[in-house]
Amino acid sequence: MEVWNRYVATRRHVEGAPTEADFEVIENTARWSPDSGEVLVKNLFLSIDPYQLNRMKVTSASHHAVDGILPGQRIAAYTAGEVVASASPEYAAGDVVVGVLGWEEYSLFDPSSPAAAATVHKVSTGGGGGFPLSHHLSVLGTSGMTAYGGLFEVSKPAKGEKVFVSAASGSVGSLAGQFAKLAGCYVVGCAGTQAKVDLLKDKLGFDDAFNYKEEPDLKSALKRYFPDGIDIYFENVGGEMLEAALANMNTYGRVALSGVISEYTGAGRRAVPDLLEVIYKRITIRGFFAWDFLPKFPEFGAVIGEWIREGKVHVLEDVSDGIDSVPAAFAALFSGHNVGKKLVKLA
Amino acid sequence: MEVWNRYVATRRHVEGAPTEADFEVIENTARWSPDSGEVLVKNLFLSIDPYQLNRMKVTSASHHAVDGILPGQRIAAYTAGEVVASASPEYAAGDVVVGVLGWEEYSLFDPSSPAAAATVHKVSTGGGGGFPLSHHLSVLGTSGMTAYGGLFEVSKPAKGEKVFVSAASGSVGSLAGQFAKLAGCYVVGCAGTQAKVDLLKDKLGFDDAFNYKEEPDLKSALKRYFPDGIDIYFENVGGEMLEAALANMNTYGRVALSGVISEYTGAGRRAVPDLLEVIYKRITIRGFFAWDFLPKFPEFGAVIGEWIREGKVHVLEDVSDGIDSVPAAFAALFSGHNVGKKLVKLA
């Protein structure tokens, strides 16, 4: 069987903020045969994540953990889709799957490969306790796992602790803040527009929120929002925001270093943390990502799923349509145009 | 009873590298009376530590944890001395004590005050398993506790892990490196002279060592000394050294942030860590100091004491004579002139 496929590729390595012109949509064919052992998936949703930018650079520390992306090549990414043909006994046509496949309309994977075995799995959607398929790429996908792991495994919040979340209306931040509220913390988030700030306070239940773009001095802003200091900083931004958070942290404060989007593009200047703050306040800064908690995903997912059913977590998804919208959707992550999890819906 | 006393004070707040001219030795009298409840101590050794510089600044993150030092005032510091008069049932003339007293010839303390109760204690020296008094300010004092706690509590080394120690011939570094060897690690240290490098390799048993001043590119130097990467960085320096270490760290690497002496004076530029390294290698950077492990001091001291008795740890002490030598001894810490623990011997 052969299907026409279209996939998104970079035209070149991307070093600064990405633009649509850095990408192209390439046509090819996906060939599946009954003796290949492979599964052919028609992708229904593609996950659009900031960290992909690091993979597009010539060199990046991200290459320690995930392969770099070569111009012209397909780009591995989380997707959710439906099996259209299977040469594996584990999958059948009609199965709904989620996993690391690619920014493309159709994906082939081999369930016997360790990578696919670790990352691709079947999900049930719709009735009978199922969730919308898109949720498996957002709140029940790596965004949710990152928020949950970063909060509960890395930061270990105690009730009443003060939590600051940057990029708080983003895919991970919006969940980290809500999870921190559910843990009994006082939570303040920052975002880049008044509409996002309103959303955080009015819909997501943050105790407070502010527009960082309207704060000439982030240190004094945080001093205002946290007169008793910050215990946990859920860090998605980097640069000056990290410096300001450290200056306002309490003794034994924890920084869950989830992302530093302002430093991915190289446009924002890098954080120059005052290490004396880190020493004398005995702060722990820990880098992590969701996969560190892979064995705990079922446990995390069960808790989060229950919260969603009980209406305790609002899921923000920002969905574009069609494979051709991927470049613009990805570029928009770095200009702050998305709210919540950025997804592209296919077909 | 009244004794002539002399104490060291700053003449002004100190912001850059300290010089002898920043200090003066002031004469006063120490008055002790039998109904004061106080203990009068004749100090025999004074501990000279880099962190005191942060206390001398107008503002510093250190002020979160330890009081700032005001010009003209006595300077609290660890000392070892002998009780000459006691109005407390807990102490008697002739007792040898170690604790936070001051850069002065005579100190008074009230054993009923919480601060003194927490920090001052009697020690036995000489025969019967005792150690030289000076050791209670170095290897059995906060330097040893910092090295032990930073290594075993913060960094948790596994046998065979690769450990990098900066300022490795200093009071803490020289012990952290030796302790790491005793934990079965591969240990490389850096220092600022060839003589120190030789000392690390020939006497302290480091697997390797290098003179950072002769390395134009610290990142490639560390790449050479750690072809398989660094698992633990025992950080005493800051600045460019931290950046280079992060670039060479392995996944799940740990940075025990003990001190950043190059950043205390403000002369060296601050570290601008690549936070992508921290995220993608899931590095933990943790600030700490010895007092975080205060309840474990007896346990740490027992282990370290046994190592000393067995000849497994070399204790480096660099001793100056007389209260008048304190300013020069302190200033020398920041020009790299000391080897091991800097102490001033009185009387």
Write down the pLDDT at residue A347.
78
Whether residue B53 lies within 8 A of chain A, CB to CB, comes out as no
Q: Do B289 and A277 touch (CB under 8 A)?
A: no
- Kindly report the nearest CA distance between residue A130 and chain B, in angstroms: 33
Distance from C-alpha of B217 to C-alpha of B114, rounded to nearest angstrom: 49
Reference A149, options A252, A282, A312, A303; nearest CA is: A303
Q: Residue A326's closest CA among A57, A15, A26, A90? A: A26
Contact B331/A at CB under 8 A: no
Phi, psi of B227 (to 5 degrees): -60, -25
The reply to whether B228 touches chain A by the CB within 8 Å rule is no
| pLDDT at residue A127, as a whole number | 55
Q: Which of B238, B251, B276 has the CB atom closest to A60's CB atom?
A: B276
Within 8-37 of B, beta carbons closer than 8 Å to A belong to none
Q: Could you count the other beta carbons within 10 Å of the beta carbon of residue B289? A: 21
Contact criterion met (CB < 8 Å) for A287 and B280 = yes
DSSP label of B16: S
What tokens does B119 get? 């920090």
CA distance, residue B317 to nearest chain A CA (Å): 25
Q: Are A284 and A254 in contact (CB under 8 A)?
A: yes
User: What was the pLDDT predicted at A126?
Assistant: 61
pLDDT digits (tens, 9 = 90+) for A43-74: 999 999 999 999 999 999 999 899 999 999 99
Give one word for B167, left, alpha or beta, with left for phi > 0 and alpha for psi -120 to 50: left
Complex ipTM > 0.85:
yes
* pLDDT at residue A229, as a whole number: 98
Residue of A nearest to B229 (CA): A64
Residue numbers in A near B240 (CB within 8 A): none
Q: Kindly provide the b/e burial profile for residues A96-123, where b requires at least 16 CB atoms within 10 angstroms of the residue's own CB.
A: bbbbbbbbbbbbbbbbeeeebeebbeeb
- Tell me, what's the pLDDT at B267? 62
- Contact between B272 and A276 using a beta-carbon 8 Å cutoff: no
* Among the ranges given (A206-210, A320-324, B129-133, B159-163), the one the predictor scored with the smallest mean pLDDT: B129-133
Residues of chain B with pLDDT under 70: 126-129, 267-268
Mean pLDDT of chain A, nearest integer: 95
| Res. A128: pLDDT tops 60 | no
Write down the H helix ranges in B183-286: 194-202, 218-225, 239-247, 261-264, 275-280
Q: Quick check: A56 contacting B, CB < 8 Å?
A: no
Q: Which of B60, B280, B281 to mutate to test the interface with A (most CBs of A within 10 A)?
A: B280
pTM, rounded to two decimals:
0.96
Q: To 10 degrees, what angle do helices B239-247 and B218-225 make?
A: 50
Gap from A258 CA to chain B (nearest CA, Å): 7
Positive or negative, the CA dihedral B167, B168, B174, B178 is positive
DSSP code, position A133: G
Give residue B338's pLDDT: 87
- Residue A129's pLDDT is 59
pLDDT digits (tens, 9 = 90+) for A161-192: 999 999 999 999 999 999 999 999 999 999 99
Q: Which of A21-30, A116-125, A245-254 has the lowest mean pLDDT?
A: A116-125
- pLDDT for the residue numbered B240: 95
pLDDT tens string A263-279: 999 866 899 999 999 99
Residue A26's H or E segment, with its range, is strand A23-31
Assess A212–B contact: CB distance below 8 Å, yes or no: no
Task: Identify all chain A residues contacting B49, using CB atoms and an 8 Å cutoff.
Answer: none
Q: For A31-44, how does the pLDDT look when each residue is reduced to its tens digit (9 = 90+)?
A: 999 999 999 999 99
**The pLDDT value given to residue B323:** 98
* Residue-wise DSSP of B86-120: ESSTT--TT-EEEEE--SBSEEEE-TTSHHHHHH-
Half-sphere exposure of B177 (CA within 13 A, CB side): 33
Tell me the three state secondary structure of residue B29: strand
Supply the pLDDT for residue B347: 79
SS3 A35: coil
Check: CB of residue B244 under 8 Å from CB of residue B219.
Answer: yes
